[in-house]
Amino acid sequence: MPNGVAKRDLPTKTCPACERPFTWRKKWARDWDSVVYCSDACRKKRL
């Protein structure tokens, strides 16, 4: 059996810039609550 969580069970959010859903990433583990945009491109487009 593999360890960890299945990708389908990870938390998701919707990006306000592109309206697409994006899932939790390990690099966002510490600040998932403050992540708003799915990418740097969406962050720049929104500003």
Rounded distance between C-alpha atoms, residue 44 and residue 7, angstroms: 27
pTM of the predicted model as reported, rounded to 2 decimal places: 0.78
Query: What is the pLDDT, as a whole number, of residue 46?
Result: 72
Task: Report residue 47 as tokens.
Answer: 């500003």
> Splitting the chain (47 residues) into consecutive groups of 10 residues, what average pLDDT does each group show?
82 96 94 95 86
| Coil, strand or helix at 21 | strand
pLDDT at 47: 65
